[in-house]
Amino acid sequence: MSSEEQIIQLTPEICQAIDQWVLKYPPEQKRSAVLAGLRIIQRAYGWLSDERMRALAEYLDLPPMDVYEVASFYSMYERKPIGRYKLAVCMNISCHLCGSDNIIKHLESRLGICMGETTSDGLFTLRRAECLAACTDAPILQVDDRDYYKRVTPEIIDQVLEQLHQAGRKKGRDDAT
């Protein structure tokens, strides 16, 4: 590592959260905790910088490549900063048959962005989701990889945006779990 490169250490809270996961696996299999480690870091900072990924590798005694390749393989990891809220609309067959295209059009016009982009105020990023396993309640919107909104309509979308808008201005990021 060159001297210019910033050395970042994981915070004690993050280390603690990762330790909980390491305990789930055999002692010689710390690598198993890579997915959880990345999720925990992303939850705390919103995305995964190279420095933090290296710090995770060091914490788990792994070559950095073992962490990078996981981060680039799984779709929930963000390797660039994104908006405060991730809005993911399922575009697969059951949602498609129930009008997910209209939901996306509505979101694009309300937010003034296209699929994949982030609003200029940094609040929202719009994403395509792959089947979220809620197909009987299509169409589906998931916020921040966690909260499901089912059978969404343009009206429901407007309400969700309004709520998130207000919460987003007040609140910072939540816990690192």
Partner 1 sequence: MQHNIVCFRTRHLDQPWSLENYRSVGGYKQLERILNDKIPPEHILERIKQSALRGRGGAGFPTGLKWSFLSRGKPIQKYLICNSDEGEPGTCKDHDILMLNPHQLIEGMIIAAYVLGTTVGYHYLRGEFWHAFQRCEQAIKEAYQEGYLGKNILGSGVDFDLYNTLGAGAYICGEETALIESIEGKRGWPRFKPPFPANYGLYGLPTTINNTETLASVPVILQHGAKWFAHLGGKENGGSKIFSISGHVNQPGNYEIPLGTPFSELLNIAGGVWKNARIKAVIPGGSSMPVLPGEVMKRTRLDYDSLSKAGSMLGTGAIIVMDEHTCMVNALACITEFYYEESCGQCTPCREGSGWVTRLIKRIEAGQGKPGDLDCLEQIAKGIEGRTICAFGEAIAWPVRSFLKHFRAEFEYHIEHGCCQVAARVR
Judged by the rule CB under 6 A, the positions of this chain that interact with ligand FES are 90, 92-95, 131-135, 138, 140
Tell whether residue 8 is a contact of partner 1 (CB under 8 A). no
**Nearer to ligand FES among residue 35 and residue 135 (C-beta):** 135
Structure tokens given for 113: 């962005």
Contact of residue 59 among ligand FES, partner 1, none (CB under 5-8 Å per partner type): none
**Nearer to ligand FES among residue 111 and residue 138 (C-beta):** 138
Locate all alpha helices (DSSP H) within the chain, ordered by sequence: 12-22, 34-45, 50-59, 64-73, 93-97, 100-111, 154-170
Tell whether residue 34 is a contact of partner 1 (CB under 8 A). yes
Applying CB under 8 A, the span of 10-18, 29-37, 105-113, 115-123 interacting with partner 1 comes to: 29-37
Considering only 46, 143, 148, 168, the residue that binds partner 1 (CB under 8 A) is 148
**Nearer to ligand FES among residue 38 and residue 91 (C-beta):** 91
**Nearer to ligand FES among residue 93 and residue 115 (C-beta):** 93
First vs last Cα of the chain: how many Å apart? 30
Torsion sign (Cα): 150, 154, 158, 161: positive
With H, G, I as helix, E, B as strand and everything else as coil, classify residue 126: strand
**For strand 124-129 and strand 141-143, is the pairing parallel, antiparallel, or unpaired?**
unpaired
Contact of residue 32 among partner 1, ligand FES, none (CB under 5-8 Å per partner type): partner 1
Nearest to 152 by CA among 117, 102, 114: 102
How far, CA to CA in Å, does 81 sit from each of 78, 115, 124? 7, 16, 11
**Nearer to partner 1 among residue 16 and residue 120 (C-beta):** 16
With H, G, I as helix, E, B as strand and everything else as coil, classify residue 86: strand
Tell whether residue 111 is a contact of partner 1 (CB under 8 A). no
Q: Which residues of this chain interact with partner 1, rule CB under 8 A?
A: 24, 26, 29, 31-36, 38-39, 66, 69-70, 73-77, 91-94, 96-98, 128-138, 142, 145-148
